[in-house]
Structure 1
Amino acid sequence: MHVPTSAVLQKLLSEAPPGHVSVGWIMERLEERSFGLLMFMLAVIALVPGLSTFIGVLFAVPAYQMIVARRSPALPKIATARRLPTPQFVRAVDRIAPLLRRAETLIRPRWPQSFRTTKRMVGIAILLLGLTLVLPVPFGHILPAFVIMIVALAYLEEDGVVLWLGLALALVSLSLSAAAGWGAVAGVKWLDRL
C-alpha cells in the first residue's frame, strides 16, 4: 500500500529527535523515495539565479547512482553528517507538505513497472539536464529545473505516467538547450567573420 510522501514527511516529524536531525537520518528513513526528494530539493535550489551552475554539477551524484541502479542515493559522509536543527526541519516540512498534498491530488501510483525498467534511462536524462544547468544561457536553467521537479515528483509518488511525461519534457528541454548552444557557436563564428 502506497503512503503519500506528505504523510511520510509528517511521520518523520513525529520521529525526529528534539535537538538536531542529520541529512543521513532523513535519507535513511525515506529509502527509495530519497532519490526523488534529493532531486526535488536540488531542482528547487537550481531555480535560484547564480546557483544553477553549482547544482548542475551536484546532479551528477544521484544521476550516476541511478545509472548503476543503486536502491537509494549514497552521499559523501560530509553531506550525510550535516545536521539541521529540528525546529528548522519542522518549518521546512510544514512549508513543503501542503505543496506535496496538492501535487498528490494529481500524481498517484500508476505503472509501477516503469521505475524498474527506466531507472538507468532516467539517470542519463538527469545527468544531461544537470549539464544544461551549467551552461551560461540566460534563463536557461528554468526549464531543466522544472523538468527535474516533475521527474522527482513521479519518483516520490511512484507515478509512471508522470515519469514518462517528465522524460518527454526532458527530451524537449535537451533539444532546446542543444539549439541554444548551436546558435551561440554559430553566432560567435559569424562575428569572427565580420
Structure 2
Amino acid sequence: MSEANTHARGLRLAWRLRRASCRLPEQGLTLRELADLHGPAAPGSLLILLAAPCLLPIPGVGTVLGLSLLTLAAGLWRGRSHHGLPERVAHLNLSADWARRVLRVLAQCHGATEGWVKARMGPGAANPGRRWLSAIVALMAVLIVLPIPFGNFLPALSLMLAGLALTARDGLALMASYALAALSTAFGVGVSLLGLFWGGELLGWLGNWLSPGLIS
C-alpha cells in the first residue's frame, strides 16, 4: 500500500464517517451498522471500531467491548486475518447522540493519519497474527474491563493506534502503540495499588475508631 493510497483512503473514510454522523436515524446505530460504515472488518478496522467507544464514558460499553476485544485477540493469536463481530456486540445499539460522538471520534482518528501513518517498517505490521500483538490486545482488553478509575482511555487509545498501524502497515506506529500499552499497564497497576493502599488505610482507621467503642 503506497503512502498516497493510504492518505487518500483515510481522507475518504473520514469524510464518509463525518457525513454519516450528520444523517443518523433517531434510534441511533448498532455496532454492526457502524462496522458497515467503517468498511471491511479486517483486524485493524475492528480494533479501531471496538476501541473508539471505550474512549467515551458510555455506561456498560467498556465491559461488552472489552470482552469482544478478548475474542479478537484470540483470533489474532490463531493467525486469522478477518473477523466478524460477535452477535451480542453486533446488536449493541448506541443512541443517536453517542453514535454521533463515536463517528466523530473515528473520523478525527482517520483524518489525523494524514502525513504520519504510512507504510514503513513493513515486517513489523504486515502479519496481523503476531502473538505479541494478540497479547497486547488481550492485556488492553482486560484493563478496559477492570473497574479502574479513568482506566479505559489509555488502553483504548493504544488499541486505536495499533489498528491504524495494521491498516497502513506502519511498523513504527505499531511500536508506538506498544509503548502506549506499557504506559497504560503502568497506570492501571499504579491506580490499583494506590486504591488497595488507601483502602487498607481507611479500614485501619475505621478499625481504630470503632475499637474503643466495642471494648467499652
Q: Where on the TM-score scale, by shorter chain, does this alignment land: which range?
A: 0.7 to 0.9
Who is 2:180 aligned against?
169
Establish whether residue 36 from structure 1 lines up as the match of residue 47 from structure 2. no
Who is 2:56 aligned against?
48
Who is 1:132 aligned against?
143
Structure with larger Rg:
2
| Aligned residue identity for 1:141 | N
Asked if the contact 1:56/1:131 (under 8 Å) is kept, the reply is yes
Instruction: Provide the rounded CA distance (Å) in 2 between the counterparts of 1:47 and 1:192.
Output: 33
| Aligned residue identity for 2:10 | S
| Aligned residue identity for 1:113 | P
Normalising by structure 1, what TM-score? 0.73
1:53 Cα deviation from its structure 2 partner:
2.5
Asked if the contact 1:104/1:157 (under 8 Å) is kept, the reply is no
1:54 Cα deviation from its structure 2 partner:
2.3
Asked if the contact 2:119/2:169 (under 8 Å) is kept, the reply is yes
Residue identity over aligned pairs, in percent, reads 23
Who is 1:119 aligned against?
130
Distance 1:137 1:78, change over 3 A: closer
Correspondence list, 1:1-194, <5 A: 1-2=1-2, 3-4=5-6, 5-6=9-10, 9=13, 26=36, 30=40, 34-49=42-57, 50=59, 51-76=61-86, 100-115=110-125, 116=127, 119-194=130-205
Question: Quick check: 114-123 or 53-62, which moved more?
Answer: 114-123
Normalising by structure 2, what TM-score? 0.66
Gapped regions of structure 1 (runs ≥ 5):
13-21, 83-91
Instruction: Provide the rounded CA distance (Å) in 1 between the counterparts of 2:128 and 2:66.
Output: 25
Deviations 1:83-114 (A, max 9, x none): xxxxxxxxx98995675244132100011111
| Aligned residue identity for 2:160 | M
Root mean square deviation, CA, Å: 3.5
Gapped regions of structure 2 (runs ≥ 5):
17-31, 93-101, 206-216
Aligned length: 176
Deviations 1:167-189 (A, max 9, x none): 01101111110111122122222
1:48 Cα deviation from its structure 2 partner:
2.1
